Structure formats: C-alpha cells, structure tokens
C-alpha cells in the first residue's frame, strides 16, 4: 500500500518553500520523526520530520524546486503490503518497535530521535572515518558529510579535517555580514541555501564609507519635530508657479535652505576632524541620499546657502535623476560638508543616520504626518509634524550645539518667512 506524506502547514502563513536538500533517498527505510528534507521558507530553513515510518517509494520533488503546502512531498510504501523478503523483515521490525520488543531494534537505522540536524545521516553509513577522527571533526566544527576524504574510497583522515577547518576560517572572512562560518555553504554542497555576492562597486564604496564613519566617529542622534503646516501651505500656493517653470516643489529644498542658514551659526556641524585639527568649512556643499538600483548614492549640491529654493529644487531633481541613471560624475559626489537623508517618502519617523564621512553631521528626515498636538491655547489640534534626526560627531560638537542647531532649523521650517529675512546675511 502507498501512503503520501503531505508537506505540512508550517504556520505563520507560509504556503510554500524551496526544497533545499533531500536527507533521504528512494528505497530508504525511514522512521517516524526522522528528518527527511530541508526546506527553506520565507522565514527560515527548516528540517521536515517524517510523520510515520516506512520505506520510501518515490520523492515527488527535486532539489531546488518549490514545494506547495498540502501537496505530496514523498510517497511511502507502508508495511501492510511488503511482500518481498526484504521489506517484510523491515515491517516486522517496525511492528515490534511499536508493540513489544523494542529491545531488538536493528542497529544502524533505529536511532534515537534527533531534534537537531543530525551529525549522522541516518539512512546511510557513517562517514568513512575512525571514531577519533570523527571526534576531531566535531571539535573543529567540520561536517563530515561536506568533505571528501583523501584516502581510499574517500576515507577521511585527520589531515582532511584540519584542512577543511582552515578553509572554513578563511572563507568566512570573505562572507558578507550575517553569514556565520558554521552556516557557511561549502563548495561541495549541491544546492546551497545561500548565495555569495562579491563585495564590489557601489556596495563596496558604501561599505567602506560606512565602516570608516562607524569606526572613527562618536555618533549621537538628536531628534525633534517641526510643525510644518505653514510651510505646506506655501508649497501648495507656489506649486503651480513652480510647475510652470518645470520644477517639482517638495519640502526638501526648504530644509536644505534652513540648514545652510543655521549651519552658519553652528560651524562645528559643517566641519571635519582630520589629523588632530577641526576644519570649519566656510562653504556649504550638501550631500543628499538617493536610493538607486545599485545602492545608496550621495550627490552633492554646491553652495546651498547661495541658491534660491527653486534653484535648489531643480538641482535636487536633476542630480537624483542622473544618480539613478548612473550618469553622475565622480566630482559631483565629492567635497560635501553636510548631508541630508530623507526616508520620509518610504515612511518611518525617527532613525539614526550614519554621518557621511568625513562630515561632522547629517540630518535625517522622516515622514511628515498629521498628529494631534496641544497648541498655545491648550487645545488639541491637528498639525503636520516633520520628524528631524540629526546625527552629529560628538568628538567635534556637543549635544547642546546639536539641539540649538535643530531648534534653529525648526524655527525656519515653522515660520518660513524667516528664511526670507535671514537669507540675505550671506
């Protein structure tokens, strides 16, 4: 008689998974709870235990195929039919096992239940290695099934284990974050549950820059909100005018402008620390973060303090378009003094941006949302609030500096007329 093993519902709304590896093969006798396959779902790599015992007649999927919940994963030949001498004896064992004579379990197959990934492939023989060598493998974390021994018929000797252990150490360094050496895919595995992407190009640049900032700087993030009802009104009023000039007006140019003015009063946030000196910069070149297919790019707008809101808006649009098309020049990415990163279009409120090396501060902008606030008349009113998160380098500036700077930026954003009044100072 045949019996299907249905790929079970693993919960958490998972409907399918990729069959990474069969742990058994056709003709194997499988015990209840013995692990039969490794399947990777959206959530995790899981080992599927058999629901019952029997001899495997057919595997319904091949490795790397997608398995749907509720479909047959494999087909067993159950005990009732076993006519041949061989299977008959198997069936006897199983019946005995469940009934009375557990003592007489055969040796290799009838293992104790194993909840973790078994070090022994229970359906085949032990790897060809002596007990002492197998112990060495355990100690060095080498999976005997993943290496081919150098001896006759693949016998694994101590040297093979040592070599495999050394290899694991080297290649784990090359791996990207998150893949530990233990779960590292070995080259001999047919279907690896991971894909190794070489770190190169923009990704490498991002990694280096982030690493430099993270290692060198002492970063603190200061957070506050600006009420931007007025600013939104102005933007609405001037949207038509902007459009007539081919400009898409967002809040970002206003924020750039506000920062460029406030930075003039807080030069330590428009600075860099190099070779034991703090360089206060008298020019205001802002990097702004653009999400491209290749990863994060930070084109730079020069002399923000000297440009009008419309001009800034236009440059923002042009530079980000060229960044996305990868048509930007290297110079256009260099020589920044301060940066702005705007995650608001995607959502999110406060976050902790990493400073664009070697600047001393970066302003992170979250999504503007309507919120209930208490106004001067102690009334709860709806207001559009813009979240601001300023990360600064505490080696160069202090918390008070950051707070004062952000307060000033907020004052401009809440009362955009001030922008007009203050702009002429430079």
Partner 1 sequence: MVVGDLSESTEVAILGGGPGGFVAAIRLAQLGKDVTVISKDPLPGGTCLQRGCIPSKALIEAAKHFASIPQLSEMGIHTKELKIDFSETQKWKEKKVKQLSEGILQLFKQYKINFIHAEGKFLSTKEIEIHSTQGLSKLNFEHAVIATGSQAKELPSFPFDKKKILSSREILSIEKIPQSLTIIGGGYIGLEIAGVFGHLGTEVHIIEVLPDILPSLDKELRQIFLRQLKKQNISLQVSCKPLSYQMKQEKILLRLQLNDQSEQDLESELLLVAVGRTPVTQGLGLENIALKTDARGFLKINPHCQTEKKNIYAIGDVAGGMMLAHKAFAEAKIAAAHICGQAAAWDQQVPAVIFTDPEIAYVGLSETEAKAKGFEVITGMFPFAALGRAQTMDKTEGVIKSIAEKNTQRILGIQMIGPQVSDLISEATLAIEMGARLEDLELTIHPHPTLSEAVGESIESALGIPIHRYQRKKTSLTS
Q: Which residues bind partner 1 (CB under 8 A)?
A: 27-29, 33, 55, 85-87, 89-90, 92-93, 95-96, 98-116, 118-120, 123-126, 128-131, 134-135, 138-139, 141, 152-153, 155
Q: How far is the CB of 109 from partner 1 (least distance, A)?
A: 7
CA distance 182 to 198: 19
CA distance 279 to 266: 13
Task: Bin 126: left if φ > 0, else alpha if -120 < ψ < 50, else beta.
Answer: beta
How much is the CA Rg of the chain, to the nearest whole Å?
Answer: 32
**Mode of pairing for the β-strands spanning 361-365 and 380-393:** antiparallel
Q: How far is the CB of 56 from partner 1 (least distance, A)?
A: 11
C-alpha distance from residue 48 to each of 30, 107, 127, 336 (Å): 12, 23, 22, 54
Q: How far is the CB of 22 from partner 1 (least distance, A)?
A: 15
Q: How far is the CB of 86 from partner 1 (least distance, A)?
A: 4
Is 394 among the catalytic positions?
yes
Q: How far is the CB of 212 from partner 1 (least distance, A)?
A: 38
Cα-based angle 327, 333, 336 (whole degrees, multiple of 5): 155
Closer Cβ to partner 1, 152 or 200, answer by number: 152
Closer Cβ to partner 1, 151 or 382, answer by number: 151
Question: Which one of the listed residues 145, 266, 356, 394 is annotated catalytic?
Answer: 394
Closer Cβ to partner 1, 122 or 368, answer by number: 122
Q: DSSP 3-state helix, strand, coil percentages of the chain (rounded to 5)?
A: 35, 25, 40
CA-nearest of 18, 16, 6 to 62 is 18
Task: Bin 27: left if φ > 0, else alpha if -120 < ψ < 50, else beta.
Answer: left
Closer Cβ to partner 1, 138 or 306, answer by number: 138
**Mode of pairing for the β-strands spanning 45-49 and 35-40:** antiparallel
Closer Cβ to partner 1, 58 or 102, answer by number: 102
Q: Enumerate the active-site residues.
A: 394
């Amino acid at each position: 008689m045949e019996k299907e093993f249905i790929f079970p519902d693993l919960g958490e709304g998972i409907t399918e998974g990729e069959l990474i590896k069969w742990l058994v093969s056709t003709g194997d006798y499988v015990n209840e709870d013995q692990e039969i396959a490794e399947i990777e779902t959206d959530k995790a790599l899981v080992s599927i235990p058999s629901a019952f015992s029997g001899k495997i007649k057919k595997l319904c999927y091949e490795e790397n195929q997608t398995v749907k919940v509720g479909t047959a994963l494999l087909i067993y030949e159950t005990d009732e039919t076993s006519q041949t001498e061989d299977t008959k004896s198997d069936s006897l064992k199983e019946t005995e096992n469940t009934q009375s004579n557990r003592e007489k379990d055969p040796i290799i197959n009838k293992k104790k239940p194993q909840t973790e990934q078994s070090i022994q492939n229970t359906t085949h023989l032990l790897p060809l290695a002596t007990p002492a060598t197998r112990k060495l493998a355990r100690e060095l974390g080498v999976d005997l099934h993943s290496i081919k021994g150098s001896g006759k018929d693949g016998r694994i000797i101590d040297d093979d284990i040592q070599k495999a252990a050394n290899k694991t150490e080297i290649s784990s360094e090359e791996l990207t974050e998150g893949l530990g050496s233990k779960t590292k895919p070995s080259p001999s595995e047919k279907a690896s549950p991971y894909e190794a992407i070489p770190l190169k190009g923009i990704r490498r640049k991002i990694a280096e820059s982030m690493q430099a900032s993270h290692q060198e700087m002492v970063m603190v993030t200061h957070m506050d909100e600006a009420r931007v009802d007025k600013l939104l009104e102005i933007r609405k009023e001037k949207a038509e005018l902007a459009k007539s000039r081919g400009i898409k007006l967002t809040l970002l140019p206003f924020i750039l402008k506000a920062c460029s003015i406030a930075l003039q009063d807080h030069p330590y946030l428009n600075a860099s620390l190099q070779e034991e000196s703090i360089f206060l910069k008298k020019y205001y070149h802002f990097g702004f973060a653009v999400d491209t297919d290749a990863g994060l790019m930070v084109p730079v707008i020069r002399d923000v303090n000297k440009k009008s809101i419309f001009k800034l808006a236009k440059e923002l649009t042009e530079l980000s378009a060229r960044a996305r098309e990868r048509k930007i020049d290297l110079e256009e990415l260099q020589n920044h003094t301060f940066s702005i990163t705007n995650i608001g279009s995607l959502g999110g409120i406060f976050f902790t941006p990493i400073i664009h090396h070697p600047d001393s501060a970066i302003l992170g902008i979250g999504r503007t949302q309507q919120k209930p606030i208490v106004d001067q008349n102690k009334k709860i009113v709806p207001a559009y609030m813009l979240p601001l998160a300023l990360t600064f380098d505490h080696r160069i500036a202090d918390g008070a500096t950051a707070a004062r700077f952000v307060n000033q930026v907020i004052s401009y954003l809440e009362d955009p007329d001030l922008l007009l009044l203050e702009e002429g100072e430079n």
